[in-house]
Structure 1
């Protein structure tokens, strides 16, 4: 694996570490402001990945799948970051702190709406990450060096389309409650 791939892994681990630190500090240590500080570090991790990826490409590296995944990671982190923190917060409160209500598995139209919300977040991630891919392709200005980026954008477009079809299908065939 190359340096960018390891950086992506380190950023993902760092993302969940600062969320966990934020939740532990906030709820177990009862230091809410410090907990919010840790949670606010998640965009800093994104910025670090962006700078490292851009610097690597600026220095003449041929774009690889790892560079493309970095753009996807950034778009996804920005689009889903707040909801991922909310999800972790809700689970931590219930399962670790034994507070709040048990998270309920959604069904029917409620699940269809939740699925479509996730798909719209995916669209936002695509706009951000795809925009980054297009900017990188434009700045590299050499199709042989940016082939991995354009190929990834094509595949991601198909995946986004499939995501929309699946979300729409939940309105036609709602998810049934478990018996």
Structure 2
């Protein structure tokens, strides 16, 4: 049941997002669109409540409960940026909004961008870690919490990977290529080309 609910929440997230943006920009009903977008957090509330009730009723904690916690965490950390990403593209396509701006590719600006991306993933992982720890405490010493602990380790890996990526762009920034004599591209500065944008 938990896995099915996670899938249903993910489908509902995109359905609400599409409907909210359609009402906002295509049907010119911004208030209705806003209401639909504001319904997104209710999905996580429902999933959290069902998971807690399942554990309270004596369910053995396993990977499914961990998956629910991780899904909630990632929606908290990444949901807002996903909505903004989609909103900018729909506004440009249907409402004459400015073209979406891609991330910077070089230097300090790219490093700052990578740290912002890392911060969102770290927030997502931290929320998941907190929910998983809450489940561990809720189950107590009488239950098997190994699967929940395994999910916590995965979240620590996610944090570590994102920090390493952000640090690499900070220490080894990619330099923009300049046009040399004859129109050939030359690297401008040390570390040029040592990393490629994601």
Q: Scaled by the length of structure 1, what TM-score is found?
A: 0.90
- Counterpart contact for 2:61–2:148, Cα < 8 Å: yes
Question: How many residues get paired?
Answer: 177
Q: 1:101, CA displacement in angstroms?
A: 1.6
Higher relative contact order (CA 8 A, sep 6+): 1
How far does residue 122 in structure 1 lie from its aligned partner after superposition?
A: 1.8
The answer to whether the aligner puts 1:121 opposite 2:130 as a matched pair is no
Q: Give 1:177 deviation, angstroms.
A: 6.3
Larger helix fraction of residues: 1
Q: Pick the aligned partner of 2:18 from 20, 24, 42.
A: 20
Give the CA deviation at 1:96. Answer: 4.9
Aligned-pair CA distance for 1:167:
1.1
C-alpha distance in structure 2 between counterparts of 1:143 and 1:156, whole Å: 24
Task: Note the residue ranges of structure 2 that are not aligned, 5 or more in a row.
Answer: 178-184, 186-198
* CA–CA separation in structure 1 for the residues paired with 2:57 and 2:163: 38
Contact 1:26-1:33 within 8 A present in 2 as well: yes
The yes-or-no answer on 1:141 pairing with 2:119 is no
Give the alignment's TM-score, normalised by structure 2. Answer: 0.82
Aligned 1:128-167 pairs, distance under 5 A: 128-142=127-141, 144-167=143-166
143-152 or 133-142: bigger deviation: 143-152
Residue 167 of structure 2 is aligned to residue 173 of structure 1:
no
Residue 36 (structure 1) shift: 0.3
Q: What RMSD in Å do the two structures reach over aligned CA positions? A: 2.0
SS in structure 2 of the partner of residue 118 of structure 1: helix
The answer as to whether partners of 2:139 and 2:145 remain within 8 angstroms in 1 is: yes
